[in-house]
Amino acid sequence: MTDKISTVISPEGSLEVLSQLEVNRLRDTSSSGAHDVLRRCALAILNSGALTDDTRSVMETYRDFDIEVLQQDRGVRLKLDNAPAHAFVDGRMIRGIREQLSSVLRDIVYVANEIQQPNKFDLDSSEGITNAVFHILRNAGTLKPSNEPSMVVCWGGHSISREEYDYSKSVGYHLGLRDLDICTGCGPGAMKGPMKGANVAHAKQRRGKSRYVGISEPGIIAAESPNPIVNELIIMPDIEKRLEAFVRVGHGIIVFPGGVGTAEEILYLLGILLHPNNADMPFPVIFTGPQSSADYFRRIDEFIAFTLGDDARKRYQIIIDNPVEVARAMRRGIEEVTQFRRENQDAFYYNWRLTIQPGFQQPFMPTHEAMAGLALHRDQVVHELAANLRRAFSGIVAGNVKDHGVQAIEKYGPFKLNAEPELMTRLDDLLKSFVAQSRMKLPGSEYIPCYTL
């Protein structure tokens, strides 16, 4: 039987007072209310460290968990019923978990009040979406105008091997020695490793106010609960705004081994960088892993070459089994970014100049009809093909771990993807390689494909 605790706590550090209207929204259990999102995200925070990426399993284990916002004279308190006991020590909630729980409350309230309300932001326009992302990050305190560029975004799988995890930790360590901060998707695996390594390096360098930024969204957070090193957590409304937040606040990106979600991120990034407006913009991108991961990156590289061409390959470098060179290359790349931003009077803290097309910004709901209708052929502008490939991989991620995607697969069967014959073959080979390398699920669990080609 799973140990559970019921208690009442005060938020810490992010949002300690709410209006009555905001409290009522968070209590609203209807489909239009915010309670379900708050409950899911809160459970993910409290369940940090659990060795499962099965969202439905988590929700079933803690089906009697609930969270209620209490309005009191001195501010709000959170009433937790049947919360995971491992979030507490001797009956007191671990402080880092309490801070992350407060961040969840802050972002859900802000998005409901400011982003999702009519006439606040034009979420049908590219400019409106970019402004919405900016305001969410600003409200969270993520944007630091006085800081020099130092933010390295690290992408990669949450269920990687121990060797790959240790390698990501080594890379993070050498980044930290060079005074670089870390931003990841906030979960375990390749998202935790770089933060853990950088944390040790920052301690050695006696570096104060080090930043370990985690960016998630409600659909994925239960499968990738925030790791304990994250000291700045932001919950974006959807995957597209999450991805835009990464490239707007990051000064360079390192990609570690992963699976479909990592491939989605790569295609998103390259699709943006291939836009003609971004051709001359420096943005260091490095694919890296231990020697055992060389084949993973070889297959990714071959797929990119076939679908997006050699121009895409010029936007990244592959460095295998050399954490020191990865850190040095990233440090050099960020120095180029700093010089470019100074020359063009662009902000260090938010990349306003980066052009992102609506195809990369509009939320994609992976229904069976939408997945079957994706234009997966090379007879289109290359960044548009990247956008459609990104949507295909996003749908597979949803079918693997997101509750709405898993339910759709159970009800209607696997997604059907249609592509030109040779692209279909390449896509099938790539996805099969992910399955063979146990990159679709945690090792030890049998993977059942949620797609057919």
Domain locations in the chain?
4-120, 144-343, 358-452
Share of the chain above pLDDT 90, in %: 69
CATH number of this structure's domain 144-343, picked from the four choices 3.40.50.450, 3.40.50.2300, 2.40.30.10, 3.40.50.2000: 3.40.50.450
- Predicted pLDDT at 73: 66
- The mean pLDDT value for 157-173 works out to 95
Share of the chain above pLDDT 70, in %: 94
Q: Cβ–Cβ contacts within 10 Å for residue 204, how many?
A: 11
Exposed / middle / buried, residue 3 (Cβ in 10 Å: 0-12, 13-18, 19+)? exposed
Is there a shared CATH topology between the 4-120 domain and the 144-343 domain? no
Nearest C-alpha neighbor of 361 from the set 108, 138, 119, 123: 123
What confidence category does residue 32 fall into, taking pLDDT thresholds of 50, 70 and 90? low
- The mean pLDDT value for 155-166 works out to 93
Nearest C-alpha neighbor of 148 from the set 339, 329, 20: 339
Strand partners, 155: 255
Q: What DSSP designation does 201 have?
A: H
Nearest C-alpha neighbor of 306 from the set 429, 224, 142: 429
- The mean pLDDT value for 292-320 works out to 95
Report which secondary-structure segment, H or E, holds 74.
Answer: none
**Residue 99 pLDDT > 60, yes or no?**
yes
Q: Cβ–Cβ contacts within 10 Å for residue 18, how many?
A: 18
**Residue 1 pLDDT > 70, yes or no?**
no
**Residue 96 pLDDT > 80, yes or no?**
yes
What confidence category does residue 443 fall into, taking pLDDT thresholds of 50, 70 and 90? very low
Q: Give this prediction's pTM.
A: 0.92
Between these two residues, 22 and 154, which has the higher pLDDT value? 154
Q: What angle do CA 221, 225, 231 make, to 5 degrees?
A: 105
- The mean pLDDT value for 395-414 works out to 85
Q: pLDDT tens across 349-387, in order?
A: 999 999 999 999 999 999 999 999 999 999 999 999 999
- Predicted pLDDT at 156: 96
What confidence category does residue 441 fall into, taking pLDDT thresholds of 50, 70 and 90? low
**Residue 53 pLDDT > 80, yes or no?**
no
Between these two residues, 401 and 445, which has the higher pLDDT value? 401
Crossing angle for the helix pair 35-46 and 20-27, to the nearest 10 degrees: 80
Strand partners, 4: 84
Indicate the CATH number for domain 4-120: 3.30.1850.10
Nearest C-alpha neighbor of 217 from the set 178, 254, 264, 255: 264
Q: What count of Cα atoms within 13 Å lies in the side-chain half-sphere of residue 422?
A: 5
Instruction: Tell me which of 17-26, 100-109, 347-356, 393-402 is least confident.
Output: 17-26
Instruction: Tell me which of 72-76, 102-106, 418-422 is least confident.
Output: 72-76
- Predicted pLDDT at 397: 85
CA distances from 40 to 44, 45, 77 (A): 6, 9, 18
